[in-house]
Amino acid sequence: MEGSIEAQKAISGLSMASSASSEQEAVSKNALKKALKNKQRDEERRRKEEEIEKKAAVMQSSRVQRTLLADDEDMDPTQYFENRQKVLAAQKTAGTNPYPHKFYTSMSIPEFVKEYGVLEDGDHCEDVEVSLAGRIMNKRSSSAKLFFYDLHGDGAKVQVMADA
């Protein structure tokens, strides 16, 4: 609204100026309107570019803040390897062995499926602690804090829901 009022004032000012100096310049009223529209369009384009640059800066800072787990899917193999090496070095300096000699399991995956397969969807056994061993074949992220893993072993599969 404010821009249109300014545009009208500018056009009326230009038309008066053009009538006074019509002998010096042969610029039509339409040409003046077109020049004013181009100027407004350029100003709007400049504002949009500034907004895009601000959004890009915000996206870059948020990308840095995301966890390594969320970034794994977006990385090329060399970046993934370097980040994995950093995580392993940090675990070693913290005093934990990232690759322990022995991992104790309480049951196999087929036993787990047989014992807990009777649970209905949404049921939880929070007082039970089970340790399983297998190969993670698929990792999916549902959100920034919710991940799903497919754990395969001994011819059976379990889906693990990991919630931060």
According to the model, what pLDDT value does residue 75 have? 75
Q: What is the model's pTM?
A: 0.44
According to the model, what pLDDT value does residue 10 have? 62
Using DSSP bridges, classify how beta strands 146-153 and 156-163 pair: parallel, antiparallel or unpaired: antiparallel
Question: C-alpha 27: how far from its chain's center?
Answer: 51
3-state SS string over 67-89? CHHHHHHHCCHHHHHHHHHHHHH
According to the model, what pLDDT value does residue 5 have? 62
* 3-state secondary structure at position 112: helix
Name the strands in the sheet holding 135-141, side by side, starting at the edge strand that comes first in the sequence.
Answer: 135-141, 146-153, 156-163
According to the model, what pLDDT value does residue 68 have? 46
According to the model, what pLDDT value does residue 15 have? 52
125: left (phi over 0), alpha (psi -120 to 50) or beta: beta
Query: Which amino acid is it at 89?
Result: A
Q: Give the torsion sign (CA, 150, 153, 154, 155).
A: positive
Strand partners, 163: 146
* 3-state secondary structure at position 34: helix
According to the model, what pLDDT value does residue 6 have? 62
Q: How confident is the chain (164 residues) per 10-residue block, as mean pLDDT?
A: 60 54 67 92 93 82 55 76 91 89 90 91 88 93 92 93 86
Q: Who contacts 153 (Cβ-Cβ below 8 Å, separation ≥6)? A: 108, 109, 132, 133, 134, 135
Query: What is the longest distance spanned by two Cα atoms in the chain?
Result: 98
